[in-house]
Amino acid sequence: MTQDNIASAVEAELVELSGLLTEPGEHECLRCYLLRMINEFGCDGQHRWTIRWRDLRAPRARGLIGRLQRLGGVCCDCEVLLNVFPDYPDTTSLLPCAGQRQPGSSAPCDLRELRRSA
Ligand SMILES: [Zn+2]
Ligand SMILES: [Zn+2]
């Protein structure tokens, strides 16, 4: 294996890894996904994570971005979090997602349930 081959093998592995890391959980709601991604990778000033979530979890929700923009998530993912999903339990660490309410739904999960049972 030449030096080049090793480098591209490592690169391929990294790409694969970041694909997995940025994949929304099977039932992860949009709010928890955005929190997780912005916490890990930050906001790039666009709807990067919202679009990734929609493509994988709600591919038929074509109007999703427009709807979120009307609700205040005008420019980017962190605005969606701040303005569309302002309710989040007061914690120092992220809570595990309680689960998407129904497939394709962008409504946030109900974390109060989780806290009560914790
Ligand atoms: Zn932002
Ligand atoms: Zn959630």
- State in Å: Cα 3 to ligand 2 middle: 43
> Into how many domains does the chain fold?
1
Task: Determine contact, residues 50/64, Cβ cutoff 8 Å.
Answer: yes
- State in Å: Cα 116 to ligand 1 middle: 31
**pTM exceeds cut of 0.75:** yes
Ligand nearest to the CA of 48: 1
Which domain covers residue 66, as residue numbers?
Answer: 25-90
Q: What is the CA radius of gyration of the chain?
A: 16
User: 63 in a domain, yes or no?
Assistant: yes
- State in Å: Cα 78 to ligand 1 middle: 4
pLDDT band at 76 (very low <50, low <70, confident <90, very high): very high
Q: What is the mean pLDDT of residues 61-87?
A: 96
Q: What is the mean pLDDT of residues 17-22?
A: 78
Ligand nearest to the CA of 89: 2
Q: Which amino acid, 23?
A: E
Q: Which parts of the chain are beta strand (E)?
A: none
User: 38 in a domain, yes or no?
Assistant: yes
Percent of the chain with pLDDT over 90: 66
Ligand nearest to the CA of 99: 2
User: 79 in a domain, yes or no?
Assistant: yes
pLDDT band at 11 (very low <50, low <70, confident <90, very high): confident
Ranking 19-23, 38-42, 54-58, 95-99 by mean pLDDT, the lowest is 19-23
pLDDT band at 118 (very low <50, low <70, confident <90, very high): very low
Ligand nearest to the CA of 53: 2
User: 54 in a domain, yes or no?
Assistant: yes
Task: Determine contact, residues 68/50, Cβ cutoff 8 Å.
Answer: yes
